[in-house]
Amino acid sequence: MSERKKNVLLQGGILAAAGIITKIIGFAYRIPMGNMMGEEGNGLYSVAFGIYGIALTISSYSLPLAVSKMISARLAKAEYQNMRRVLANALVYALVAGLVVMNILYFGAGVLEQLYNRPGIDKPLRVLAPTTFIVALLGVFRGYFQGHGEMVSTSVSQILEQIINAVVSVFATWQFMRMYAAKPDAPAYGAAGGTLGTLAGAFTALLFIMYLFVANHKRYRHRPNPKEKLESGREIYKALFLTIIPVILSQTIYQIGYTIDDIMFGHLMAMHGFEDKVVASLQGVYNTQYNQLINLPVAIATAMAASTLPSIVLSRMQNDMRGMHQKITQVIKVNMVIAFPSAVGLSVLAEPIMQMLFPSLVTYRPQAVLLLMTGSGAVVFYALSTLTTSILQGNNYMKLPVLHSAVSLGIHVVLLGVLLAFTDLGIYALVICNVLFPLVVSALNCYSITTKVGYRWEILNTFVKPLFASAAMGMVAAAIYQELGDAVNNAYIISVIAVGAAVIVYAVIILQIRCFSEDEMDSIPGGRLLNRLMR
């Protein structure tokens, strides 16, 4: 393997590992925070964060990718002055975009509160407003380091950001809920406390990465290249926008789907006569006790896949189509081997999971359990849709995933409106449409990968075998839960025993039915040891 290829895989692996760590930390701190806030506070927090997600998408989400691509391209051609111009112009863009979005969020918080029909979200929104400005600057510096092939700086800053976020969020939520306990809008203050950690984490990460930039600036001083043709600011901004816009469009469709759900749910449930507190509480159940659990295995699976995606791009650039197809098979298979058992486990053990993770949230626990039992299939489809989108974009089909997401969003919005307006499904309508959206995207993406990339799917090994092993695992977990449910009145003990047995059963079946070939096993961390054990 060439040094370049090894470096790409190593850096991709570092970034993927950091992504997994940050997602686990993010999941962990939301549990105590969610228990302290209560259902209504969780609802306000999640709606405010949905708006914040759109603000970040518009102002800064695509900056690390755009800046890293432009920096690395100019470094490859020894255009060092142009590289510095890219950095300067990107910082100007981040300053302007960040300030504009910050002011819209801060001064428009009251308008957004009315638009979403969610009294109290103005408080967390005003805390999140300056965070958008900080994250925009942070994205430029992260892109600068990534463009130099230094993923460690970005990874450490992400982990540091999430640690500070976790500590401050939990502490501030506890303090705010205690200080404003007597006020009728205490949940809104609790949500504001939770968002304070996001601000503190982003600010700490920005200080850290700016320190690295200043401390290592001499390393990036290069001798002038006399053959270098200087680019104008207009040329740099044109290249920047051509990279940013497709990512913004793609991510905006995902983000706007969540916020449209929040708006429609708030207004249509009010039309049915539900009080604001009840609607906010139901949104808290959906976004915290359901979505939070669904998103964790998806995030871990896609982060693991991210370490392989750079090698897929390299194979395409080297015109090694066979190698690229083999890597696509492997990365999808790894995702499905994680996603299927996660979905089945969440469904079968929904009740003890809710008891164990959210002991304080009991008012709507039956609804939370039913949401997780019926909607856990979204794990599989979100993992597949995210991965197939990356595969298409890695093969330079940038517009196709955007089009597929737009089509799916249109179906999603129409169906959700019909279900909320003309049925009594309520919050269960959100779950139905939450599963439908990634299902449609996955189907369209998979069809395009077949027709555009020429890939042939291994249906048996990629989907059927993991599903079979997961079903067997689920039956074992359900049986253990039923047997111990009456004898042991402790959700922690039941969950640990059931999950432990399920993991062993699933691992043995996956290995016995040869879901992975020996070559594929060798390329997976720990796979060589498993191969020797199987022999």
- The angle that helices 465-487 and 491-512 make with each other, rounded to 10 degrees, is 150
CA–CA dist 379, 65 (Å, integer):
26
Q: CA-to-CA distance for 106 and 125, rounded, in angstroms?
A: 7
- 233 neighbors 181 (Cβ within 8 angstroms): no
Is the CA virtual torsion 40, 44, 45, 46 positive or negative?
positive
What's the burial of 482, exposed, middle or buried (CB within 10 Å: 0-12/13-18/19+)?
exposed
The H or E element that residue 71 is part of is helix 63-76
pLDDT tier, 163 (very low <50, low <70, confident <90, very high otherwise): very high
Which whole-number Å values give the CA distances from 423 to 200, 286, 333, 415, 436, in the listed order? 43, 18, 38, 11, 18
In this prediction, residue 224 carries a pLDDT of: 65
15: phi then psi, degrees, rounded to nearest 5: -65, -40
pLDDT band at 75 (very low <50, low <70, confident <90, very high): confident
Mean of per-residue pLDDT scores for the chain = 84
d(CA 137, CA 159): 17
- Asked if 131 and 59 touch (Cβ cutoff 8 Å), the reply is no
Q: Answer with the residue of higher pLDDT: 486 or 445.
A: 445
CA separation for the pair 376, 339 (Å, rounded) = 10
Per residue in 169-183, pLDDT (tens digit) is 999 999 999 999 888
Q: Please write the tens of the pLDDT for every residue from 31-51.
A: 999 899 888 888 899 889 888
- What pLDDT score does 12 carry? 59
CA distance 57 to 470: 35
Q: Within 13 A of 400's CA, how many CA atoms are on the CB side?
A: 22
Predicted pLDDT at 340? 94
Q: What percent of the chain has pLDDT over 70?
A: 87
- Within 10 Å of residue 319's Cβ, how many Cβ atoms? 8
Q: What is the mean pLDDT of residues 14-42?
A: 84
pLDDT tens by residue, 399-447 = 888 899 889 999 999 999 999 999 999 899 999 999 999 999 999 999 9
Q: Is the pTM of this model over 0.85?
A: no
Model confidence at 199: pLDDT above 60: yes
pLDDT > 90? residue 376: yes
**CA–CA dist 251, 133 (Å, integer):** 19
Tell me what pLDDT residue 151 has. Answer: 74
